Amino acid sequence: MWRRNQEAAQRFADRRRREDDAPRLSDVVPHLESLKLEVRETRSGISNPEASHIRRIVVSSAPALFVVPCHDSNCKDGGHDVTSEVLSALRSRTPRFEGEDGCGGQVGSAGCQRVLHYIATATYHERA
């Protein structure tokens, strides 16, 4: 049990370091005014979400990094990095977009079967 807690603490510290080192979202997408992400995670082939939440992004201070950890406590080295997809849509001023990402981690000797689905809603400043 202690080892699992230590590994979780290390993953959290690594994630925090990545966020601190990332450029700020307001610098990368200066015309972005607001961003809301609706996130749900399912097992592959099952439509009922096992985890879901809405995240309202504080654009002025948020990192330009969109990484969501896998919610399967048995998943090793998993998670969902949708940074490039989200930033691409934001740079092109897309007001609503969605996507999905399969977890690349391992559960035992098999690949993790979790899939992240997201819907983003963004508003932008008027063009100068």
Q: Which domain holds residue 49?
A: 2-124
User: Does position 121 have pLDDT exceeding 80, yes or no?
Assistant: yes
Give me the chain's average pLDDT, please. Answer: 88
Number of domains observed in the structure of the chain: 1
Beta strands in 5-50 (DSSP E): 32-43
Reported confidence tier of residue 48, pLDDT bands at 50, 70, 90: low
- With CA atoms as reference, report the closest residue to 116 among 39, 11, 57, 38: 39
pLDDT in tens, 62-104: 999 999 989 888 898 899 999 999 999 999 999 999 999 999 9
